[in-house]
Amino acid sequence: MVNMRGRIRIAVAASMLIGSFLVGFVYRDLQAGAGRQVLSELKTMPADIATAAKEKVAQNSVELQPVETYSSVIAYVDSNYYGTKPKPKQLTYAAIRGMLATLGDRYTRFLDPVEHKEMSEENRGDFEGIGAELDTKDGRIFIKKTMADSPALRANLKSKDVILKVDDKMIQGMDITDVVKLIRGPRNTKVRLTIKREDTPQPFDVELTRDVIPFVMVESRMEDTVNKIGYVTLRQFTEKSDADVFMAIKELDAQGAKALIFDLRGNPGGLLDAAVSVGSRFVQDGDIVIIQNRGGQRSAIPIEPDKRDPIRRPVVVLIDRNTASAAEIVSGAIQDHKAGTLIGTESFGKGLVQTIINLDDGSAVAITTAKYLTPNGHEVTPTQKIKPDITVDPSDDDIKNENDVQLKRAVQYLQERLGVTQAKTNGEKS
Amino acid sequence: MQTRPPTKVATANMQASAMLKLTPESAPVILQPAKEKDGAERDLVGSVVRLLRSYYVDTVSKEKETEMARGAVRGMLESLDDPDTRFLEPAERKLIVDAGNGRFHGIGAIFALRREKVDKLDETKLVVVTPMPGSPAEKAGILPGDSVAFVDNKWIITHDPFKEPQFESMLKAMRNRDVDALAYQKAYEAAFKKLKDGMSIMDALESVTSKATGDLTIKVERAGEDKPIEIKLKCRDTFVDPIITKQTDRGVAYLRVTQFSRSAPASFAAAMKRAQSAQAKALILDLRNNPGGLLDSAAAIASSITGGGVIASIQTKNARKLLKEPVSKRLTIPVVVLINEGTASVAELVAGTLKESKAAVLFGSKTFGDGLLQTPLILKDGSAAVLTSGKMRTAKGVDFNGKGISPDREVKSGGIENDIQRDEAVKYLLAKLGKA
C-alpha cells in the first residue's frame, strides 16, 4: 500500500543545481554543516548525465510491470550473482533510482534515509552538531566563529582555536568537509576536540554535547548607512525563513531603513510555503503564485494578509543564474505586482514543484507533482526564466576581484529613487 | 530461471564474458514470482510506482512503465559495479544474438569493458578483444588489446572528469580556499564540458557494433604507442563461419575456430572428418582472436581432442563443480594450438585444458585473461539482465582470470601478411612427423 504516513510536504525542492553550487558552496563550508549535500550532488551529476545519454526509445510492444520485473530480477541476482554480495537495500534503492531516471526529470528522485534526513534538516533550517563555523588556512583547520547559544560557545571555544584531533583522530591534511562530517552527529551525543589555542602552550581537550543548531540562512546589514539602504540576503527557503526575514526587516526598520535590497542570488529554493510567506512580506495584494497540477488544473495561492508589511519602501531584488525555484516564485511575484525592481541576470528557470513523500523505511521520494506560474500566468522553464528589470552581469574581472557590481547598481538605483546624491557612498564603504 | 540437468553443470546459458559473445539463444529464462522475504522491499518499489501513477505531473503511460521497469533493472545491475553485469535493451541483445550466429555489424569486432586504474583514476575502457576475420576492423589493422578512445572525434567517457587529479586538487584547494572562485569555476566548466561533449561508453559500443553501413573514424590507444592512432573504417556486415579451414598440407591440417557458437562443434567434427580423408597426421588448432562463446560448445570441441573427461571446473555462487564430457576416443595425432591476446574466455579454457592434458602444445602469445561466466536473464520484452554467474578454471583448477594462459612456445606475431606463428607450428609438426 501507499505509505503516506507522516505529512506530505510540498517543497519546491532545494536541490543544488548544476552550477549553482558555487555560491552555495562557499557559505556552506563556513558553516559546520551542510557541505555534504552540495558535494554529493556534484558527485552524482556525471552519472545523471550518463543515464540521460543512455536513454533509449522503447521499440518493443510487450509491456513490463516495474514491480514484477524488479521482484524477479532481485530474486535472480540474489541466488545467482557470483560477485560481491550487494549490501542490503542496495539493489532496491538502485532499482528505484533507475526507475525514476527514466522519467527524464532530474527533480523526481529518490532520497535514501541519510539523504532524506539531510534534506529534512535543510528544510527545517537546522542540523545537529556543535554550532561552530570552521575555516582553514595554511592546512590548519580552525574555528572561525561560534554560533549564539551553541555547544561550541558554551564550551568556551574561541575564534582562531586550531582543531588538532576529533575524537582522538588526527585531522592533519584532511579536507575541511570531512572534518565537518566527523564533528557533526545526532544531538545528545558527545564529541571530543583537541584544541591548540594561541596563548596556551599545551593543546587541550574539550568535550561537547551535540545539539540542534539553526542554519544561518538570513543575514542583514545597513548597506548604505548615510542614505539608510538596508540589505537582507536569504540563502534558502526553510521553515524558519519567513520569521528570520521578518526579524531582519524589523531590525533595519528600527535603524530607520528607507529602502531595501533583498538578495536572492544563489538561492536554490526550498519550501513552497516559505516562499508564499516571504513573498507576502513584499506584495500588498493578490496572488504569490499559481500552481498547475496534473491535468492542467490551476489554483492561485494568495498572499497571507497577516504578513502584509504596512511600510511602503523602494525594494530591489537581486537575482542571478542560480536563483531557482522558490526564489523564482518570490522574485516573479514581486516583479508581476511591481512591488520591487529586479536587478541582476536571468534566473535559473525551474518552474516545477516537488512533493516529498516519506516511505516506510525512512527513505523518501521527491516527485514532481506540479508546475507553477507567476501571478501574471508566466511559466518558468529553462527557456523562460525570470528576467531582471535591470540587467547587470559581472565580468570575469569583477568576479575575480570580488567586485559586486550588482549590489552596487542596486544601491545606486535606490539612491536615485530616494532622490539623494550618489557621490558620497559610491565606491568603498566608509 | 533455467532448470538444470541433474548430472551436469548447467552450462547452456553460460556465456563468455567479453561483450557481444552471446550465441544463439537458448530457451528464455522464465521469471519467478518474488519470494516472501522480499515483501517489504517489494512494497517500497510498489509504493513509488503507485505514487508516480497518482501524482506525477505527467501521465505515466504503459510504455513509460515498461521503461521504468527496464530502468529498475538497469539501476540494480549498475549498482553492482561489475563491467560484465549489465542490462541489455532489446536492440542491444539482438546484436549479441546476431554475433553468436556469426553475423557482425559495424566494424566487426568483439569488445570488452576493462576496468583499470591509471594515475589513481578509475578508467573503464572499451577494449577490442578480437577483430573478426574479414571484417572492416581486421582490414584496417585494428589489433586485440586496442582500446577505443574517440569515435568520430568524440571523447569516450572512460572516467569521470571530476575525478581527474587536476580537478580534485582544484576542488581541495577551493575547499581550503587556496584558489579564487573564478579559477575553480573555470576548472569546473572545463570538466563539465568534457563530460557533456563526450560519448557514453555504451553509446560508443553501440556505434562501433551496430552501424550497418557508413564511415566511422575512431582513435585507438595501443600499447607501446604514445599517441592514439586514427583509423578510418567503412562499416558493413561481416559473416563469419565458426570454423575456417585450410587445405591439409604435407599431412598438417589447419582448423581455425573463430568462436564457439552453437553450431561450432558440428562444423568442427565435419572439418576433422575432411582432414582425416586428406590423410592429416597432425593438426593446427587456431584459437587466435577467438573471443569465446558457449561453454558447452567449447567443452564438446575440447573433448573431441582430449577424449572426454574433465574439461573445466566451474565455480558458481553456491557450488564448485567439474564439467565432464563422456569418454570418447582421444585424438592421437600431434596438435599445436595457436593462441594470442585475442584468445579469450572459453577459448582460453580450451587452450589451458589441452595444454594440461598434454593433448596439445601451445604456440603464440599469452591469452586475454577472462575467466568469468555470464548468464542472461531474458525478460519478456526482449531485454536481458546479464549477470556474472560464475568463474571457470581449467580442468586442473588453474584460474586464468586476469592472468591469461601462457604458450609453451612464445612466438611473436608477424602481422596479417606474414603468419610466423603458423609457420613455426607447421615447422614443429613436420619435425615431429619426421618430415623436416
pLDDT tens string A257-285: 999 999 999 998 889 999 999 999 999 99
B79:A94 CB<8 A: yes
- Sorted by where each starts, the structural domains of chain A and their CATH numbers stand as 127-214 (2.30.42.10), 218-417 (3.90.226.10)
CB contact A76 to B (< 8 Å): yes
A70:B56 CB<8 A: no
CB contact A86 to B (< 8 Å): yes
Tell me the torsion sign for CA atoms B165, B168, B174, B180.
positive
CB contact B190 to A (< 8 Å): no
For A:125-144, CB contacts with B below 8 A are 135-137, 139
Give the pLDDT score at A202.
Answer: 92
Question: Which residue of chain A is at minimal alpha-carbon distance from B161?
Answer: A46
Nearest one of B136, B384, B132, B157 to A72, comparing CA atoms: B384
Give the active site residues of A. Answer: 325, 336, 350
In the chain, the amino acid numbered B338 is: L
Residue A343 in grid coordinates: 536587478
Give the pLDDT score at A237.
Answer: 93
CB contact B68 to A (< 8 Å): yes
Nearest one of A20, A2, A3, A37 to A349, comparing CA atoms: A20
Chains A, B: CB contacts within 8 A come to: 264
Instruction: Please say whether the beta carbons of B162 and B121 come within 8 A.
Output: no
CB contact B299 to A (< 8 Å): no
| Disruptive mutation site among B50, B124, B176 for chain A (greatest number of A CBs within 10 Å) | B176
Give the pLDDT score at B436.
Answer: 54
Give the pLDDT score at A133.
Answer: 85
Instruction: Please say whether the beta carbons of B92 and B106 come within 8 A.
Output: no
Chain A hits for B76, CB-CB cut-off 8 Å, are 70, 73-74, 77, 91, 94-95, 98
pLDDT tens string B11-51: 333 433 333 333 333 333 444 444 545 567 778 999 999 99
| Disruptive mutation site among A68, A71, A395 for chain B (greatest number of B CBs within 10 Å) | A71
Regions of chain B with pLDDT less than 70: 1-39, 177, 416, 435-436
How far is B372 from chain A, CA to nearest CA, in Å? 9
How far is A381 from chain B, CA to nearest CA, in Å? 14
Instruction: Please say whether the beta carbons of A357 and A364 come within 8 A.
Output: yes
Chain B hits for A54, CB-CB cut-off 8 Å, are 74, 200, 202-203
CB contact A82 to B (< 8 Å): yes
Compute the distance between CA of residue B158 and CA of residue B136 in angstroms, rounded to an integer. Answer: 24
CATH topology of domain B241-432: 2-enoyl-CoA Hydratase; Chain A, domain 1 (3.90.226)
For B:237-296, CB contacts with A below 8 A are none
Chain A hits for B69, CB-CB cut-off 8 Å, are 64-66, 68-70, 99
Backbone angles phi and psi of B216, in degrees to 5: -145, 135
Give the pLDDT score at B416.
Answer: 67
Nearest one of B95, B161, B97, B150 to B126, comparing CA atoms: B150
For A:279-298, CB contacts with B below 8 A are 293-294
Give the pLDDT score at B38.
Answer: 54
Domains in chain B: boundaries: 241-432
Regions of chain A with pLDDT less than 70: 1-61, 421-430
Give the pLDDT score at A122.
Answer: 79
Chain B hits for A135, CB-CB cut-off 8 Å, are 177
CB contact A52 to B (< 8 Å): no
Question: Which residue of chain B is at minimal alpha-carbon distance from A60?
Answer: B381
Question: Which residue of chain A is at minimal alpha-carbon distance from B60?
Answer: A103
Chain B hits for A86, CB-CB cut-off 8 Å, are 79-80
E strand map for B191-266: 215-221, 229-234, 238-239, 243-249, 252-257
Find cell 525592481 and name the residue: A341
